Amino acid sequence: MTEILEVAKENLIKKGFLDMEVDPSLDLVAEIEKLKKEKNAIILAHYYQDSDIQDVADYIGDSLGLSQQAAKTDAEVIVFAGVHFMAETAKMLSPNKKVLLPDLKAGCSLADSCPPHLFRKFKEKYPDHVVVSYINCTAELKTLTDICCTSSNAVHVINSIPKEKGIIFAPDRNLGAYLIKKTGRDLVLWNGTCMVHEIFSNEKITKLQIRNPKAKLIAHPECESHILDKADFIGSTSGLLKYTIESEFDEFIVATESGIIHQMALASPNKTFIAAPPNDEKCACNECPYMRLNTMEKLYLTMKYGQPEIILPQWIIDQGVSSIDRMLEISAKAGL
Ligand code: 13P
Ligand code: SF4
């Protein structure tokens, strides 16, 4: 066993995940359920995970819901079926718990688009501004942030800042532009984007709308403005899901990562969901390549061996957590 763990650790360092053969005859669902009990672990999964991972999770949600769960869980181990910044957020909120991510390479193009050393220089140009950062950013960026937000609470966060105060918004320029329209505030924007939400084809969506005249176009605010301008509804992943459940309409073109359609179809089996098409027909670009690095096999190995673990320097937790706490306070006040 010690030998196996040593080999696994070596591979882990090289690859970012435990690289071991998993017996194909294993019932992974049953094994994962057993490990949850044995290790007092909870699995938190984002809607962009593969359906089989969503089905074995204890909680499935958007970035806000996942942070709220990470802050309040009694479990000793948090297994994050999502991406790196989400697991880091969980670690900052629950520093004494073990936080595991099945693949450490599950990053985020949006978080990568805002390197802290460049952002620090950018921030120096606006010394009196409040910094609001989308939670899709690194833990280090959170140390340079006054208040975090998610797509569920961004409008509330911006509106909580006194009108006379200037605001820098990072890293998503599309969500930022949407917030300027929604709140009427003049935000200074960092120029970052999500690689999944900027690939939707305007032309192909228009063709789909012509072929499916009853379908409502629903979009995540990380999409570019030409998609948002024609959307019937804009919301976070949980906002989009709620809309499809409560809506009197039966057909939807879904402009966000296609993993969310699993919960939409489960909640409304008689409704039709069409994934918004990307520009390139040959790629599965509406699937986040980072989110989809997590697999049932990696989830199982992570839970079995307690690796890979999220470790953060204490100064990052100390200086970064208040930005998340402020976001959670504003959300609680708003009843979110
Ligand atoms: P939400 O689930 O908070 O809407 O965020 C979407 C996203 O891009 C997560 O990476
Ligand atoms: Fe990041 Fe976009 Fe993937 Fe979300 S969908 S994790 S914002 S790259």
> How would you classify the pairing of strands 59-61 and 41-46?
parallel
From ligand 2's centre to the CA of 2, what distance in Å? 36
7 with 84, same domain: the answer is: yes
**Is residue 64 domain-resident?**
yes
**Is residue 284 domain-resident?**
no
Phi/psi at 278 (nearest 5 deg)? -80, 170
What is the number of the ligand 1 atom nearest to the C-alpha of 239? 4
Q: Indicate whether residue 153 lines ligand 1 (CB < 6 A).
A: no
CATH code where residue 162 lies: 3.40.50.10800
From ligand 2's centre to the CA of 258, what distance in Å? 12
Per-residue confidence (pLDDT) for residue 1, from 0 to 100: 57
Per-residue confidence (pLDDT) for residue 11, from 0 to 100: 76
Residue 211 CA to residue 269 CA, distance in Å, equals 22
Q: Indicate whether residue 260 lines ligand 2 (CB < 6 A).
A: no
Report yes or no: 148 and 175 within 8 Å, Cβ to Cβ.
no
Going by C-alpha positions, the residue among 276, 319, 328, 310 that lies closest to residue 116 is 319
Residue 328 CA to residue 336 CA, distance in Å, equals 9
From ligand 1's centre to the CA of 214, what distance in Å? 27
Per-residue confidence (pLDDT) for residue 215, from 0 to 100: 98
- Give the torsion sign (CA, 5, 76, 111, 284): positive
149 with 178, same domain: the answer is: yes
Residue 7 CA to residue 135 CA, distance in Å, equals 35
Q: Indicate whether residue 103 lines ligand 1 (CB < 6 A).
A: no
Question: Ligand 1, residues 44, 47, 48: which to mutate, most atoms within 8 A of Cβ?
Answer: 48
- Give the torsion sign (CA, 176, 178, 179, 183): positive
**Is residue 167 domain-resident?**
yes
Per-residue confidence (pLDDT) for residue 71, from 0 to 100: 93
**Sheet of strand 272-275, all strands in order from the earlier edge strand to the far edge:** 233-234, 216-219, 251-255, 272-275
Residues near 183 by beta carbon (within 8 Å), at least 6 away in sequence: 155, 158, 159
Q: Indicate whether residue 89 lines ligand 1 (CB < 6 A).
A: no
Per-residue confidence (pLDDT) for residue 2, from 0 to 100: 64
- Beta carbons within 10 angstroms of residue 27's beta carbon: 9
Q: How many domains does the chain have?
A: 3
In three-state secondary structure terms, 117 is helix
Residues near 42 by beta carbon (within 8 Å), at least 6 away in sequence: 36, 58, 59, 69, 73, 75, 77, 78, 79
**Is residue 79 domain-resident?**
yes
- Where b means 16+ CB within 10 Å and e means fewer, 248-280 reads eeeebbbbbbbbbbbbbeeebeeeebbbbbbee
Residue 134 CA to residue 40 CA, distance in Å, equals 31
283-308 pLDDT, tens digit per residue, is 777 899 999 999 999 999 999 999 99
41 with 189, same domain: the answer is: no
170 with 252, same domain: the answer is: no
Question: Ligand 1, residues 89, 237, 261, 294: which to mutate, most atoms within 8 A of Cβ?
Answer: 237
90 with 13, same domain: the answer is: yes
Which residues of the chain are modeled with pLDDT < 50? Answer: none
Residue 153 CA to residue 16 CA, distance in Å, equals 32
From ligand 2's centre to the CA of 262, what distance in Å? 17
209 with 183, same domain: the answer is: no
Tell me the residue length of the chain: 336
326 with 177, same domain: the answer is: yes
Per-residue confidence (pLDDT) for residue 103, from 0 to 100: 97
Q: Indicate whether residue 108 lines ligand 2 (CB < 6 A).
A: yes
> Whole-prediction pTM value?
0.95
Residues near 119 by beta carbon (within 8 Å), at least 6 away in sequence: 141, 144, 170, 171, 190
25-61 pLDDT, tens digit per residue, is 999 999 999 999 999 999 999 999 999 999 999 999 9
Per-residue confidence (pLDDT) for residue 285, from 0 to 100: 77
**Is residue 280 domain-resident?**
no
Determine the structural domain holding residue 147 and report its residue range: 110-194+319-333
Residue nearest (by alpha carbon) to ligand 2 atom 1 = 108
Residue 325 CA to residue 327 CA, distance in Å, equals 5
**Is residue 283 domain-resident?**
no
182 with 117, same domain: the answer is: yes
307-331 pLDDT, tens digit per residue, is 999 999 999 999 999 999 999 999 9
> How would you classify the pairing of strands 187-189 and 147-149?
unpaired
Q: Indicate whether residue 63 lines ligand 2 (CB < 6 A).
A: no
**Is residue 281 domain-resident?**
no
323 with 308, same domain: the answer is: no
Residue 204 half-sphere exposure toward CB, CA atoms < 13 A:
14
Going by C-alpha positions, the residue among 202, 175, 201, 209 that lies closest to residue 190 is 175
Residue nearest (by alpha carbon) to ligand 1 atom 9 = 63
**Is residue 208 domain-resident?**
yes
114 with 74, same domain: the answer is: no
142 with 95, same domain: the answer is: no
Written as one letter, the residue type at 282 is K
100 with 115, same domain: the answer is: no
Question: Ligand 2, residues 291, 292, 294: which to mutate, most atoms within 8 A of Cβ?
Answer: 291
Q: Please, which residues bridge with residue 328 across strands? A: none
